[in-house]
Structures are given as structure tokens and as C-alpha cells.
Chain A
Amino acid sequence: MINIVLLSLLVVIAIAIIRMKDLFAVVMLTGIYGLLSASFFVAMDAVDVAFTEAAVGAGISTLLMLVAITMTGRKEKVTRHKPFAALFIVLITGGLLIYGTLDMPLFGSADAPIHSHVAPRYLNDSMQEIGIPNVVTSVLASYRAFDTFGEVVVIFTAGIGVLALLFVPRRKEEDEKIASINDSMHEHHLVIRIITKMLIPFILLFALYVQFHGDYGPGGGFQAGVIFSSAIVLYTMLFGLSTARKVINQGFIQLMAAFGVLFYGCVGIASLMNGGNFFDYNVLSDDPVAGQHLGILLIEWGVGVTVAAIMIIIFFSFAGRRELQQHSENNKNRESL
């Protein structure tokens, strides 16, 4: 019942997003869409997914899209031509896909193929083999550690891509000039500065809780990394980019991003060295279960460090570009006067 209501709300919002021309409103609705789909995941009992969706879909990605809009423009481009051929193809493909689902087993049916191969083993044996209450974590970090390694590398690559496209090295005196503009703009936000100062330690602590509690409840490296970075993002938004760069050096976070991936890989290599398979944590310690615990702890660390560093890098690059643009616009205005 709840699922049907949530899904129909999702459809309503998706249609509204398509109909909107004002990109700012679209970003706001995307935020609502993220919140809604996360509550949908909660209602479906997929707690870890809901966690990620909450942190990434509703939080960071909304922010990044917003920064992008302030750099580009607020109105959607009006297209003159009517793409009927494309509509036709999309309709046919959609129809075929829906026709294809008719052959699939019913949603949630117990004898669906996906529930009859590896899932029973994960659910029944993971407690003896790995000894962690949260099955999602043991699948993600141990049974499918190689997949997760791939995901971390994908995130790392995305960070490098953003860095290559948007990063602008600055000279020091230029940096100070830009910083002075930025700070003068936000001196009047007193209340929010104080509240933020109160909240940031709490957010950082909570990120660590999510990181280390991932074995027992919802959470893990990905979520913790995003929450950790969101604290830094909050700081950056209120106190300016150059202040934040003084707290966390750009070079340092780039190093940390690479270090996290390397650390993850090294755990795999270490298990190879000890005579097991790649990411076979049983050999890391005398007791297989203790070895699993150690391995999962270590790779979650690697994931968390990389995700946090990459998120901070992406936000810094976006914000840096934006400041630079503002700076050049200000210069232009001054010249025209």
C-alpha cells in the first residue's frame, strides 16, 4: 500500500520535472525525488540503499547541479523541432521491454532465479563464514569485494575526470583577491555560521559511526565518505573556498583519494601473498572469521577515504570554477563602468 502511494508520487514528480522549463525548479524537484525514492527504499526494507540515496541523491548531487546552474544559466533551451521519430522509437522500445517483463517471475516471488542461486547461501551461511549481522555488508565487502573494488575505481576515475576538466591552478595573490570578494559577501549570515559550527563536529562524528557501525547496522564506507565530505562541503559553503583549502590542502585530499584505492587493492594483494585468492580474507588471520572481520574493516576504510576525498575534490573544483567566473565577471563590470 505504502509502496503504491510512493511510486505514484514518484511518477507525478517525474512528469512535473519533464514539464518544467525553469532549471532551478527542476533541481528542487529532483531533491524531492531523491527524498521520496529513499523513503521508498526504506519501505521496501533496503536500508543501505536508502542510506546512500539519502546522502548522495538528495544531498550532494542537488548541490552540484545547483552550482552548475549558477555557472551556466537558469533556463532550459527551447527546442523548435518535434522529434516524432525519436518518440516512435522510444515507444516501441518501451513496449518491447514491458512485453519482456511479462515472462519474468512475479515481483518478490520466492522461486525467481535471482533468489535461488547465490542468495540462499549468502543468507544462510554468511553468519558462520563471515560473522557479521548485516548481510549487505558481508556481500558487498567480502563475497563481492572485487565488484566493490571496481566501484571504488569508478569513483576515483570520476574524480580524476572532474579534476582534469575543471581544476584551475591559481597563484597565491590571485587567490587572496578572489577570497576577499567571497568573504565580504557572506558576513551577514551570523546565525547560520554559529549553528553550522555546532553541527560540523556532530556530522563528522556521525560519519565515523556510520563507517564503523556498517558491520552491525545500515552503513559502510560509501555512506560514511559522503557524510564526512558533506560536513566539509557545509564548511566550504559558509566560510569560503580558500578558508576551506587552508583546513584541507588540495594536494592532501588528492593524495588521500589515491591512497584509499591503493589501500583497498593492497588488502587484496596481502591476501594473495598469504596464499589465498584475491580478496580472500580468510588467510589474513589465523582464525578465518577474524580474518574476514579484519579484511572488511580495512577495505571499508579504503572505500570511505576514497569516497570522502573524491567528493571533496569534486565540490572544490566546482566551487573553484564558480569563484573564478564571478571574479572575471566582477572585473568585466568594473572595466565597463
Chain B
Amino acid sequence: MEILLSITSGLFLFIGSFLCISGGVGIIRFPDFYTRMHAAGVTDTLGSAMILTGLMFQSGDLLVFAKLVMVLLLILLVGPTTSHVLAKAAFHNGLLPQGLNTLSKSDDKEDTSSNT
């Protein structure tokens, strides 16, 4: 049982670390703001969820477990929201995605929804 728990936890932590690093590479390598935000936003939420789940397997204490769940819920709630608002604010203030020079209404909708 003990070994099973630590293996599962290690697996989750590994996936989480991988996602975090790939998000970091994405934020450096991608060409413009919106693609960078895609990389950062997606990996941030999933990577954090994976790492926190990995920690939950090791918590052992009910209070610690509850606090980890709380942090996880907060991140799940807050991460996508900030990405959404960030994309919206950037688009409203006239920052266009690369290769898009004309501003039309349909683009506006597509862009904000795909980044939430």
C-alpha cells in the first residue's frame, strides 16, 4: 500500500513537473503573446493540478489534505479566469495576434473564447 501510494504520487509529480517545464519553454519560445498565453495558461492549470494531486497522496493528515484541496480549487478557479481576462484586455487594448492585421468582429469572439 505504502509503495503503491508513493509510486502514484511520484508519477503525478513527474507529469506535473514535465508540464511546468514545457510551459516555461513555451512562454520563451512561442512567437507572440497569444500563443505564449496558451502555453502558460494550459500548462499552469494542469501542471499545478498534477503536482498538488501528487502531494495529496503523500499528505497523510486530513487537515493537510483539506488545505491541498483548497489550494487546488483556488488554482482551478483562478487560473483560467486570469487567462481569460488577460486575453480579453490585451485584445481590447489593440494587441493583435501575429499575422492578423485587420480587426473584425468574428475574430474578436474566436480569440477570447479559445483562450479561456
Contact = CB atoms under 8 A, between A and B. Distances in A.
Query: Is A in direct contact with B (CB under 8 Å) within the complex?
Result: yes
Interface of A: 188-189, 191-192, 195, 198-199
A199 B81 CA distance: 12
16 contacts: A188-B88, A189-B85, A189-B88, A191-B81, A191-B84, A191-B85, A191-B116, A192-B81, A192-B84, A192-B85, A195-B77, A195-B78, A195-B81, A198-B77, A199-B77, A199-B78
B74 to A, nearest CB: 8
A198 B74 CA distance: 11
Interface residues of B, number: 7
A188 B98 CA distance: 25
Interface of B: 77-78, 81, 84-85, 88, 116
Nearest to A196: B81
Nearest to B85: A192
Nearest to A189: B85
A98 to B, nearest CB: 35
Contacts of A195: 77-78, 81
**Most chain A beta-carbon contacts within 10 A, residue among B77, B78, B81, B88:** B81
Contacts of A191: 81, 84-85, 116
Nearest to B84: A191
Contacts of B81: 191-192, 195
Nearest to A192: B85
A199 B73 CA distance: 11
